Amino acid sequence: MRAWLRQWKRRLRPDRARVPVFYDEPYRLPLSRLGATHGLEPCQVDFTTGYLLEAGIIRAAELHRPRPVSYAQLARVHGASYLESLGAPETLARIFTVEPADVPVDTVLDAVRRICGGTLEAARLALSTGRPAVNMAGGFHHAAPDHGGGFCVLNDIAVALAALREEGFAGTVAVIDLDAHPSDGTAACLTGDPRVWVGSLSGSDWGQVPGAQEVLLAHGCGDAEYLAALEALLSRMPPAQLAFVIAGGDVLRGDRFGRLGLSLKGARRRDLAVARALHGVPSVWLPGGGYHAEAWKVFAGTVLVLNGWGHEPIDERFDPRGMLARHRSPLGARAPQQPWEAITLEDLEGALGFAHLDRPRLLGHYTEQSLEYVLFRSGVGPALERQGYGPPRVSVDVTAAGERLQLLGRAHGQEQVLVDCVLRRARVEDADVLFVDTLRGPPARGPVSAPAGDARREVQEMLRFMAQQLGLRGVALPAGAEGLPARGG
């Protein structure tokens, strides 16, 4: 009865008290083997979000669904060779310590880019409102400029801050990293920005972390010792105009990798202390890691704190896997008294992340995600955006009839095919080349004024760049291709 009354009190609470939350279904990591091999629950973000929805802390209609960050935004932080390497399943397999065959490259990259977008959009919203904002995934603090590691592919905090700097934000920033591991990647990414302070409490000794105030705690450190160290760290934090908080779930006693010894109550007291220290400071809260069966409860408690319900316990009756089985995703979660919808075994496997099919690779090499990077590196994407088209979307169709690549862009509310080509490897004049069977290039002018020929030259560069990556001598274009020469070198 008490739980029922608490739920209705929350539902009647004024909307102004709700902290904005960023989440989308693609946040779920499509790597089911992580649970069996590392104790990392691929659906952890769904468990937390589902609980908050069913408890009435957040509402599905009010969730913000972010767009993935662009490769141009990623390139402000991460090196070109590293970004290019992400198209190879071996690179992602090393970061997640799984087999390359278990990595659906496009789905993983879409997830991490979308999570980075959530951190960026949460930061923008926090700055505009002066209040906290929450991204239900993120805090990828082991991703450095030229490599990833520890389940972190891209550094969402550094990418978000680089975008904010580009947009004119020049304020001071505090990164409070309360994941149980050192903030090595974040410190490496932000070391050149003197307006950033990074403070971290961790239970693992990884040596010196340049650019961060790293506090190493004793193995098994409990609530009292941890909270004392946190108060000391917060007392050294300089005034900030924006803060990022990694409210790590791997601080719990018994976490597979965390090596600390907090209770759920101790983790909640941690978040209450940080929220008090950041009162009046725009802040972005992220869950970081967690390798414990109850790790999802830590960040659920974080959101309770930010919404003014910091002393309310997590309802022990909530069954996160049952929630997914009933509703397919957290966004289908409803109050327990309402009817549940039945699903098939195939639906359940998809919801739990146990089934995936990687998408076809163009010319045996390119996924849709790696082609988006090619668009950025060759200048085609920026050129099309200068013409007034929305961020281009890539479509790949690999059939027995040919390997087709389409670039689509949106203008005036409609999506248009801007580049359409069929590609294959061929031998021409004793040289292996990228042969373009058919090609329709972009229009000479887009929906807004742009230089004549803008984007058409970049399409040639895109094809040459692809040929170089494939180890081919050049590009052979069909005679009469719209606005393009008959032969590319």
Architecture in CATH of 368-488 = 3-Layer(aba) Sandwich (3.40)
pLDDT of residue 337: 37
Residue ranges of domains in the chain: 2-351, 368-488
pLDDT of residue 340: 32
Name the pairing type of β-strands 283-286 and 393-399.
unpaired
Question: What amino acid occupies position 235?
Answer: S
| Fold exhibited by the domain 2-351 | Arginase; Chain A (3.40.800)
**Chunked in runs of 10, what are the mean pLDDT values of the chain (489 residues)?**
50 63 90 60 88 92 93 97 94 92 90 97 98 97 96 97 98 98 96 96 87 94 98 98 97 92 97 98 96 94 95 91 80 48 39 50 90 90 85 85 87 87 90 89 69 68 90 83 46
Q: What strands lie across the sheet with 196-202, from one edge to the other?
A: 21-22, 132-135, 283-286, 242-246, 173-177, 196-202, 213-216
What pLDDT, on a 0 to 100 scale, did the predictor assign at position 391?
80
Q: What is the DSSP letter of 415?
A: E
- 287: tokens are 């869950």
- The reported pLDDT for the residue numbered 356 is 46
**pLDDT (0 to 100) of residue 438:** 83
Give the pLDDT confidence score for residue 109 in this predicted structure: 95
Q: What DSSP string runs through 462-479?
A: HHHHHHHHTT-SEEEPPT
Most distant CA atoms of the chain, gap in Å: 81
**Whether the Cβ atoms of residue 157 and residue 185 lie closer than 8 Å to each other:** no
pLDDT value of position 359: 67
